[in-house]
């Protein structure tokens, strides 16, 4: 009875008690026990679990091994009687030579570039910092929402979106830059434009979003449209055309005819097809751009449609009822197509020509 009824403590420690074939488990808690926050005296410090930082000792161990090797050489020469006169001076000088330039390791310079490591560890979508806190917040939430959509629907698993400063950050790490346009954002420097042009020439894509399709069509004299013309003037942008119905962007993952964001305008511009692009007989699409269009320009405010809160709920409303949610779904599909186009290039464009390629191989 005492084994069953006695409270757990130093005299009756919790555990499994046995006697022959009988076993009894005594737990710390009983059915009537309650958990309450601990109340410690003021003179008792409460500390969490801390992990000791790693100490790099490879350099010290290597230096110690070299020192022991030199000491062994000197001892061997001394025991053999060869360490006499000028020879001893020369040997000592030779042994001291490796330590003349010895200095403590420069940890500040050897630390890795955290920005580069974070950007290259996983696929990361990036947005250009505009200086407008609200616009930048929506851009980040939009790319994070698009990243979630890609994660759940495709094999692409992007990391958290990155805010990019055109003046200081490296752009080559990012497959796509989302650049929302505001009428008062500063013009990049000459060095920043040089980086942007290198980025476009190396296969990167910039999505320019004037976010004003609800009040102005592309090319209209809206404040954002005028700012876009000013910002894009120094860039090496190829000739553009309205996104054609047979462009690879319409089918990289989803089959699309419309490309809405928070607004629904068909004024989306991409690199123009070459003048000699012809449709092969029996094929539903022309053989258009061989690579990725370097720019996509529109005003549908795509980030606002992609944006989600931390709990995954939409950040901003779109339209009314089912039609609004359908528009949001199409916006997400356009974002998926855009990222897949950046990552796969003309893969989908080649797929539709498989019958023609097989016929040519047979010939």
Rounded CA-CA distance 217/265 in Å is: 8
Kindly tell me if the per-residue pLDDT of 111 is higher than 50.
no
Nearest to 177 by CA among 119, 125, 232, 225: 125
Quote the Cα angle for 209-215-219, to 5°.
Answer: 60
- The residue ranking higher by pLDDT, 107 or 260, is 260
| Per-range mean pLDDT, top range of 112-116, 170-174, 276-280 | 170-174
Kindly tell me if the per-residue pLDDT of 287 is higher than 60.
no
What's the pLDDT at 265?
87
What's the pLDDT at 109?
45
Residue 271's CB is within 10 A of a number of other CB atoms, namely 21
Binned at pLDDT 50, 70 and 90, residue 328 comes out as very high
What's the pLDDT at 58?
85
Q: What tens digit of pLDDT does each residue of 288-302 get?
A: 545 678 999 999 999
Contacts by 270-274, CB closer than 8 A, 24 or more apart: 270/240, 270/241, 270/243, 270/295, 270/296, 270/297, 271/238, 271/239, 271/240, 271/241, 271/295, 272/238, 272/239, 272/240, 272/241, 273/241, 273/244
- The 10 Å CB-count burial string (b at 16+, else e) for 81-100 is eebeeeeeeebeeebeeeee
β-pairing, 295-298 vs 126-128, is: unpaired
Residue 282's CB is within 10 A of a number of other CB atoms, namely 8
The pTM for the full model equals 0.64
Domain boundary assignment for the chain? 61-102, 114-359
Question: For residue 306, which phi and psi values (nearest 5 degrees)?
Answer: -80, -20
Say if CB 251 and CB 327 are below 8 A apart. no
Q: What tens digit of pLDDT does each residue of 349-361 get?
A: 555 555 654 565 5
Domain at 114-359, CATH from 3.40.190.10, 3.40.50.12140, 3.40.50.300, 3.20.20.70:
3.40.50.12140
Nearest to 297 by CA among 179, 186, 187, 190: 179
SS3 state of residue 180: strand
Contact residues for 183 (Cβ-Cβ < 8 A; gap 6+): 223, 224, 226, 227
Mean pLDDT of 136-146: 96
How far apart, in Å, do the first and last CA atoms of the chain sit?
Answer: 95
What's the pLDDT at 72?
85
What's the pLDDT at 91?
64
Quote the Cα angle for 83-84-87, to 5°.
Answer: 75
Q: What tens digit of pLDDT does each residue of 217-242 get?
A: 554 568 999 999 999 999 999 999 99
Integer angstrom CA distances of residue 64 from 61, 114, 261, 348: 5, 31, 64, 59
Rounded CA-CA distance 58/78 in Å is: 30
State the average pLDDT for the chain: 82
What's the pLDDT at 92?
66
What's the pLDDT at 160?
92
For residue 286, list its beta bridge partners: 279
Mean pLDDT of 10-22: 82
What's the pLDDT at 86?
65
Contact residues for 212 (Cβ-Cβ < 8 A; gap 6+): 222, 223, 224, 225, 299, 301
Kindly tell me if the per-residue pLDDT of 166 is higher than 70.
yes
Binned at pLDDT 50, 70 and 90, residue 110 comes out as very low
Mean pLDDT of 100-126: 64
Nearest to 263 by CA among 211, 226, 217: 211
What's the pLDDT at 349?
58
């Amino acid at each position: 009875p005492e084994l069953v009824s006695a409270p757990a403590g130093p005299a009756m420690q919790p555990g499994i008690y046995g006697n022959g074939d009988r076993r009894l488990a005594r737990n710390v808690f009983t059915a009537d026990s309650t958990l309450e926050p601990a109340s410690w005296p003021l003179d008792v410090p409460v500390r969490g679990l801390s992990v000791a930082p790693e100490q790099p000792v490879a350099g010290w161990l290597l230096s110690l091994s070299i020192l022991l090797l030199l000491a062994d050489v000197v001892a061997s020469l001394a025991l053999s009687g060869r360490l006499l006169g000028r020879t001893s001076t020369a040997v000592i000088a030779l042994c001291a030579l490796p330590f003349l330039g010895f200095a403590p390791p420069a940890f500040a310079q050897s630390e890795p570039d955290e920005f580069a490591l974070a950007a290259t560890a996983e696929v990361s979508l990036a947005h250009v910092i505009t200086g407008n806190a609200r616009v930048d917040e929506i851009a980040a939430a939009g790319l994070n929402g698009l990243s979630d959509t890609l994660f759940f629907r495709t094999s692409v698993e992007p990391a958290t979106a990155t805010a990019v400063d055109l003046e200081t950050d490296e752009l080559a790490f990012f497959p796509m830059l989302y650049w929302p346009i505001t009428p008062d954002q500063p013009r990049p420097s000459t060095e920043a434009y040089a980086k942007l042009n290198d980025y476009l020439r190396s296969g990167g894509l910039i999505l320019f979003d004037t976010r004003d399709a609800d009040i102005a069509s592309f090319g209209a004299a809206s404040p954002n449209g005028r700012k876009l013309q000013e910002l894009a003037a120094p860039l090496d942008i190829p000739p553009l055309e309205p996104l054609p119905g047979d462009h690879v962007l319409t089918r990289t993952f989803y089959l699309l005819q419309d490309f809405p964001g928070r607004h629904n305008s068909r004024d989306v511009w991409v690199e123009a097809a070459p003048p000699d692009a012809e449709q092969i007989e029996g094929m539903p699409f022309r053989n258009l751009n061989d690579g990725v269009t370097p720019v996509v320009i529109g005003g549908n405010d795509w980030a606002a449609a992609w944006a989600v809160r931390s709990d995954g709920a939409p950040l901003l409303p779109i339209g009314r009822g089912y039609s609004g949610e359908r528009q949001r779904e199409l916006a997400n599909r356009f974002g998926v197509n855009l990222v897949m186009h950046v990552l796969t290039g003309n893969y989908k464009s080649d797929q539709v020509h498989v019958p023609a390629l097989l016929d040519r191989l047979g010939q």
